[in-house]
Amino acid sequence: MGKKVALISGITGQDGSYLAEQLLEKGYEVHGIIRRNSSDSTGNLAILETGYHNPLKKVNLHYGDVTDSNNVDKLMRKIQPDEVYNLAAQSHVRISFDIPEYTANVDALGTLRFLESIVKNDLVKKTKFYQASTSELYGEVQEIPQTEKTPFYPRSPYAVAKMYSYWIVVNYREAYGVFACNGILFNHESFRRGLSFITKKVVNLAVKIKKGKMDKMFLGNLYSKRDWGYAPEYTEAMWEILQHDQPEDFVIATGETHTIKELVEEVFVNLGDSVRWEGEGLEEKGILNSNGQVVVEIDPHYFRPTEVNLLIGDATKAKEVLGWEAKTRFKDLVKIMVSDELKSMQ
Ligand code: NAP
Ligand code: G4F
């Protein structure tokens, strides 16, 4: 039997880059869709040998965009993948309030374009489909912790768009028999996380503050809680979901939740310091115990019109059915991220 062929949309992102590495290690022929950008977006793929339409390279990159149905369809027909991992998204929740229509086009209709291409091109028996669903679907949570059975209550244009994708995956599975699965992944982080997400932002800026390169950081809501795991373990779960003998949906999470304040505190502990908090509301400040320096202030720009206050996942089904379990917990995740950030700034 020849090599299995995988197509990853969103290959330049945090998850796409880890997944590409893992699939190569498993012996896959890996293809990725990459947008034409004015500045280079391939930093996360730096350790991989990549090339455009070049079968001699490890990863074949194809220019494309999931808002372009012709492009998606053309790539699907050309590559004839055994597995599609649809990770492409406008993935920033707050920014989805600024660009809701674009977010819907990418995060909702992008998924439909792949599924339609599978059905239209008679790929139903060949191609398995993974959809990057999200714990943001739970939004104003209806149950604690959240499982595959917890009702959704999305709280942002991002989450509403992802809700369309979740259901269109279920529908194409039931209507046409597509092997299509939702991974309902809770927040997962790493050195490769985009700089505007909270874990990477706090780690990156805290390191700069401790090195004397800047004075303070501005954050939004310090009180929301997230279930943060380590990204490479989560991309491994994506693969395991598609190897299961039937298409199903799975929650992937650590089962532990922490506030943004606890994140800030843990990051500074890993940098040999500690933070105390003074003031309330917009006047709340984080202060370094070592020297009294104000290192955190609040900027309401980072508030969301509607917030997701608490996420904590129950990944029992993934453990029982797939044998998947989160290994890296909050404290170890912060340790890894601070250590990788320090190395990158040496
Ligand atoms: P990310 O780092 O923001 O990566 C998003 C990827 O999508 C990038 O490669 C980006 O390309 C690409 N993309 C954006 N718009 C596109 C378009 N119109 N056409 C083609 N590609 C496009 O996200 P991530 O953290 O790796 O997450 C991967 C997926 O999982 C996303 O769908 C996200 O919504 C979902 N998810 C993430 C988490 C998490 O905690 N990380 C949790 C649950 C679900 P550029 O590099 O050109 O921008
Ligand atoms: O890091 P965040 O921007 O991640 P968020 O909104 O939880 O979304 C991420 O995880 C989802 C899975 O649950 C993915 F689907 C999604 O694509 C993305 O990867 O914000 C986390 C929390 C929020 O409550 C936010 O209000 O941190 C709070 N926060 C406080 N200050 C901040 C900031 N978030 C950001 N990005 N920047 C701040 O300065």
Q: Which tens digit of pLDDT belongs to each residue from 46-68?
A: 878 777 766 667 899 999 999 99
At residue 48, the pLDDT reads 80
Atom of ligand 2 nearest to the CA of 162: 15
Annotated catalytic residues are 134, 136, 158
Q: Are 204 and 193 in contact (CB under 8 A)?
A: no
132, two tokens: 């990057």
Coil, strand or helix at 68: coil
Q: So what's the pLDDT on residue 54?
A: 66
Condensed to tens digits (0 to 9), the pLDDT of residues 269-292 reads 999 999 999 999 999 999 999 999
Mutate which of 22, 36, 90, 91 for ligand 1 pocket (most atoms within 8 A of beta carbon): 91
CB neighbours of 228 closer than 8 A, spacing ≥ 6? 186, 187, 188, 189, 199, 254, 258, 263, 330, 333
Give the closest ligand to the alpha carbon of residue 88.
1
Average pLDDT over residues 190-199: 98
For the segment 139-186, what is each residue's pLDDT rounded down to a tens digit? Answer: 999 999 999 999 999 999 999 999 999 999 999 999 999 999 999 999
Q: Are 42 and 50 spatial neighbours (Cβ–Cβ below 8 Å)?
A: yes
69 alpha carbon – ligand 2 mean position (Å): 29
